[in-house]
């Protein structure tokens, strides 16, 4: 009986939404969270920006990862919501896709802008792979890219963790809470 209750609790915990608090420590690129496995090729998400999303624009600027899904490898097949600081008052939310090892830097059709951010706002949507398309929706905006079927050896789906992109780091912790379901 105890074993059955334990299995039921694990099942119920994996069915609902999950809230994950992320922190990229000052001077680092990666968040402090472990990789999370996913059971689906699609996820619903939300995250809220706060004052930690504001930093000086670095000389060699780059996109930072907010959330997404990777299939087997971040740089092989993935769908991501990304963030770019442009000035003291402007930050952009964008998307990019890695398609069968081709990066968005090699194919500009695999990346784009979704919105400017407002500190304190919540951004939500849905992203993933469905019916031969990578797609991202956020606050009513949508992008999709026909990619055909995922490689037959795709076995592992992981949630993309918060990550400071480019060749720079920032001098304070970057934090957000991502809710997925």
* pLDDT tens, per residue, the chain with 181 residues: 544 333 333 344 445 679 999 999 999 999 988 889 999 999 999 999 999 999 999 988 999 999 999 998 888 999 999 999 999 889 999 999 999 999 999 999 999 999 999 999 999 999 999 999 999 999 999 999 999 887 667 779 999 999 998 889 999 999 999 999 9
Q: CB of 32 within 8 A of CB of 168?
A: no
| Cβ-based neighbours of 165, under 8 Å, separated by 6 or more | 29, 62, 63, 64, 65, 82
pLDDT at 166: 80
Class of domain 19-180 as given by CATH: mainly beta
| Partners of 85 in beta bridges | 91
Q: CB of 93 within 8 A of CB of 14?
A: no
| Domain boundaries along the sequence of the chain | 19-180
Largest CA distance in the chain: 61
């Amino acid at each position: 009986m105890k074993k059955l209750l334990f299995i039921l609790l694990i099942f119920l915990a994996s069915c609902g939404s999950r809230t994950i608090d992320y922190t990229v420590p000052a001077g680092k690129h990666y968040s402090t969270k472990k990789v999370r496995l996913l059971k689906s090729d699609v996820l619903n998400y939300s995250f809220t920006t706060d004052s930690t999303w504001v930093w000086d624009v670095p000389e060699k600027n780059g996109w930072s990862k907010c959330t997404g899904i990777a299939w087997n490898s971040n740089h092989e097949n993935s769908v991501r919501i990304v963030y770019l600081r442009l000035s003291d008052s402007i930050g952009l939310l964008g998307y990019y896709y890695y398609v069968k090892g081709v990066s968005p830097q090699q194919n500009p059709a695999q990346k784009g802008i979704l919105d400017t951010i407002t500190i304190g706002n919540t951004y939500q949507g849905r992203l993933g792979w469905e019916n031969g398309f990578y797609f991202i929706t956020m606050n009513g905006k949508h992008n999709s890219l026909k990619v055909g079927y995922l490689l037959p050896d795709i076995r592992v789906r992981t949630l993309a963790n918060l990550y400071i992109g480019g060749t720079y780091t920032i001098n304070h912790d970057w934090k957000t809470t991502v809710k997925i379901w």
